[in-house]
Amino acid sequence: MIRRIASLLLLLWVFGCQPKDPVPFQDGLNDYPTLSKVLGDPEKYQVQVLFTRIDRNEHGKPIFTYFPLHVDDTHYFYPASTVKLPIAVLALEWLEEQNTEGLTLETIMLTDSVRPSQVPALVDSSSQSGLPSVGHYIKKILLVSDNDASNRLYELMGMDYINRKLREKGLDHTIIMQRLSFPAGPEENRNFNPIRFVDKSGKTILELPERQSDSVYVVPGNPKIGKAHYQKGALVEEPMDFSFKNKFALSDLHGVVKRLIFPESFLESERFAINEKHREFILKYMSMFPAESDYPNYDPVEYYDGFSKFFKFGTSKNPIPDRFRIFNKTGWSYGYLIDGSYFVDFENGVEFFVSAVGYFNDNQTLNDDTYETDSIGLPFFTELGEYLYQMELKRKKQIPADLQRFQMDWKK
């Protein structure tokens, strides 16, 4: 009993929880049937939730109270597109480190190929200039989770740079070692295309040769998921091996979003080393709706406001009211749904962080396109977001939050 009490006190100290605060997920779940169903069977749905309540002190600085539910950084889930967020931010950090005259977000970035598995990228019809750049790749990543754009930045930095930077910032439960939706095995993912940055006249500003990593990254525990999976159209009656796929723990995803929203709440060594202009660029496109973008331009029917905003709006294709903005990154693959978000209601002064993951694959077969992401997954995220929003909407704060700094000109 003493050991149990000591463990509880340690947990409360680590997460900054105050026992006097009401704990979420206890009351009112009858109004949220899917949320109640998923939380009622955490093993089946592999559900993890990390909710951070935000209060303000007399200087307007944030005070965090953490509420983790089933959070386990050692339990593997496939992070899907959520890894694109740290890739995008680290690309800006890499850009600033080069300290090269003429090298900016908009500088033309030409990717070549020297191996059969590599694909060049010399044009980009979705950009205003018709040419690729780091900035345009980041826009596509954050607006619609473009796989190719993320792969190009992965090829730019290489896995060693990415993983070293994550460790330096205290993000110890993350490994990024693969391109996404691209037919490359572990060996090919350790090889990186040659890249040139050129000015508008075609003059080379910076040139990177073909590079290769000698590091071999493996997910701890060599995780295997499911009971069967399809591989090249054939059913394999064995679990799918994720040993050489990416890992991005929920607490690390939560931490990346927090570092971007409130960098001053972290030690300098734990922050992303990007200037304020670049941080605002990331925040703008994290929160922008696809229909608000001119370059790239997206069909609002296919890419509706809630396309990649799971909390509260995941099941709706209607426009999201102007008073709401969600600074987030989602992932969706192999039956997993993940979202890490900073949720804001400007009109009512509501703000909070929430990250969650769930597994919606009842038949335990991967790559068969038979998942419950639409029938259970998205309703779960919608109800979880609504539940937390209503709770925070009703909660009286001693000091109101000034959210003006997060109101950007998304139309510009």
Question: Which stretch of DSSP H or E encloses residue 160?
Answer: helix 159-168
The gap from C-alpha 276 to its chain's centroid, in whole angstroms, comes to 20
More confident residue, 3 or 246: 246
pLDDT at 412: 60
- CA-closest candidate to residue 36, choices 26, 46, 44: 26
- CA dist 265 and 64 (Å) reads 10
pLDDT 10s digits, 110-128 = 999 999 989 999 999 999 9
pLDDT at 410: 86
At residue 19, does pLDDT exceed 70? no
For every residue of 38-50, which 3-state class applies, written as one string?
HHCCHHHHCCEEE
Mean pLDDT of 202-213: 97
- CA dist 107 and 123 (Å) reads 13
Question: Which stretch of DSSP H or E encloses residue 230?
Answer: strand 228-231
Q: How far from 5 is each of 1, 8, 9, 17, 23, CA to CA, in Å?
A: 6, 5, 6, 15, 18
Tokens standing for residue 312: 């509260």
Contacts 24+ apart (CB under 8 A), 390-393: 391/24, 392/53, 392/350, 392/351, 392/352, 393/345, 393/348, 393/350
Contact criterion met (CB below 8 Å) for 79 and 247: yes
At residue 4, does pLDDT exceed 60? no
pLDDT 10s digits, 60-104 = 999 999 999 999 999 999 999 999 999 999 999 999 999 999 999
Assigned superfamily of 15-406: DD-peptidase/beta-lactamase superfamily (3.40.710.10)
Contact criterion met (CB below 8 Å) for 69 and 408: no
Residue found under tokens 């939380």: 39
- CA dist 163 and 174 (Å) reads 8
Q: How confident is the model at residue 23 (pLDDT cuts 50, 70, 90)?
A: low
